[in-house]
């Protein structure tokens, strides 16, 4: 971006398509499970954020005062169309295309289903929400197990208990487990259902968007004791416990599909 922005002074250029930088960064986050820090140059959340009054005034008067490059130049889409629970499939598909995603019919159907479920919980679905739904690695992996429902009982003066009900083909299986907190209890209940004791190498939880109805993403890395490499699972929900449970089930299904 330095060469792209100052190519006249540097008398140089590259063949890099700068409008794919943002998407490439998001892809790397998805693959590695590690998030870009807000103060990261170019692609960090603060790169094009202006809080100080003098900065805001300068940007309003002349953007190049504080922005020597635009969000659009690295591929951050700028669009005022609001998507919500009443938005149709066509509007959703058009938004995906604008964001740079090309999905198959099956992938589009699955993404639209997730979008409608999210829209029932949020008044406005943002571009970052849609990226989380449609981005690589966030699709719901077809597998043996799927979440039917769950119940959590937890407190600071009581042991955490999780009741998990999963679908195993046409059969519903229910287990209850105690744990050191609601997430640990939920994971142990899933282990009981699956009949395997997975080791949790890493667990991360972060907010995809801002606000009280923010979409949360959970990322887990699990493996069997004798395995050297772990399997990554991801889950999305406005409920962080549900996101964590979905991520664990996603990881279990990925593991079972590889063995």
Domain ranges of the chain: 2-74, 89-134, 145-258
Sign of torsion, CA 193 196 199 202? negative
Q: Which two tokens stand for residue 92?
A: 């959703």
**161, 153 Cβ separation under 8 angstroms:** yes
To 10 degrees, what angle do helices 89-99 and 127-134 make?
90
Q: Which two tokens stand for residue 224?
A: 């069997």
pLDDT mean by block of 10 residues, the chain; 259 residues: 88 89 83 80 76 51 67 73 76 81 85 85 79 67 84 91 93 94 95 94 84 82 88 89 94 87
For residue 73, what is the DSSP state? G
pLDDT at 8: 85
For residue 209, what is the DSSP state? S
pLDDT at 140: 55
Rg of the chain taking only CA atoms, in angstroms: 21
Residue with token string 């609601």: 182
**96, 134 Cβ separation under 8 angstroms:** yes
Secondary structure of residue 145 in the 3-state scheme: strand
Q: How many residues does the chain have?
A: 259
In the sheet with 199-207, reading across from the earlier edge strand, the strands are 199-207, 216-223, 231-237
pLDDT at 51: 46
Residue with token string 């991360």: 204
Classify strands 216-223 and 231-237 as parallel, antiparallel or unpaired. antiparallel
Nearest to 250 by CA among 175, 164, 152, 139: 139
Helix ranges (H only) for 79-142 are 89-99, 105-119, 127-134
pLDDT at 57: 54
144/136 Cα distance (integer angstroms): 21
Classify strands 171-179 and 158-168 as parallel, antiparallel or unpaired. antiparallel
* Residue 215, burial from CB neighbour count under 10 angstroms (0-12, 13-18, 19+): buried
Secondary structure of residue 223 in the 3-state scheme: strand
pLDDT at 47: 75
Nearest to 115 by CA among 144, 98, 146, 90: 90
Select 145-258's CATH number: 3.40.50.300, 1.25.50.10, 3.30.160.270, 1.10.3720.10: 3.30.160.270
205/94 Cα distance (integer angstroms): 30
């Amino acid at each position: 971006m330095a060469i792209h922005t100052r190519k006249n002074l540097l008398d140089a250029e590259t063949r890099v398509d700068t409008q794919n930088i943002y998407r490439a960064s998001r892809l790397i986050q998805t693959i590695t499970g590690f998030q870009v820090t807000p103060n990261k140059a170019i692609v960090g959340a603060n790169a094009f954020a202006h809080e100080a009054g003098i900065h805001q005034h300068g940007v309003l008067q002349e953007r190049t005062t504080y922005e020597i490059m635009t969000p659009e130049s690295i591929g951050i889409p700028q669009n005022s169309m609001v998507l919500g629970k009443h938005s149709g499939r066509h509007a959703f598909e058009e938004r995906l295309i604008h964001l740079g995603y090309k999905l198959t019919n099956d992938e589009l159907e699955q993404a639209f289903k997730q979008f409608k479920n999210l829209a029932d919980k949020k008044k406005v679905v943002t571009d970052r929400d849609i990226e989380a739904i449609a981005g690589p690695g966030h699709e719901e992996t077809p597998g043996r197990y799927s979440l039917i429902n769950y119940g959590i009982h937890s407190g600071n003066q009581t042991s955490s208990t999780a009741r998990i009900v999963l679908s195993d083909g046409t059969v519903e299986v229910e287990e209850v487990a105690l744990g050191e907190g609601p997430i640990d209890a939920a994971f142990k209940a899933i282990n009981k259902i699956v009949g395997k004791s997975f080791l949790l190498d890493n667990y991360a939880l972060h907010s995809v968007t801002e606000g009280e109805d923010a979409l949360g993403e959970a990322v887990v890395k699990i493996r069997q004791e004798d395995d050297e490499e772990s399997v990554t699972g991801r889950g999305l929900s406005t409920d962080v416990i549900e996101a964590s449970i979905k991520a664990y089930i996603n990881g279990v299904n990925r593991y079972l599909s590889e063995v």
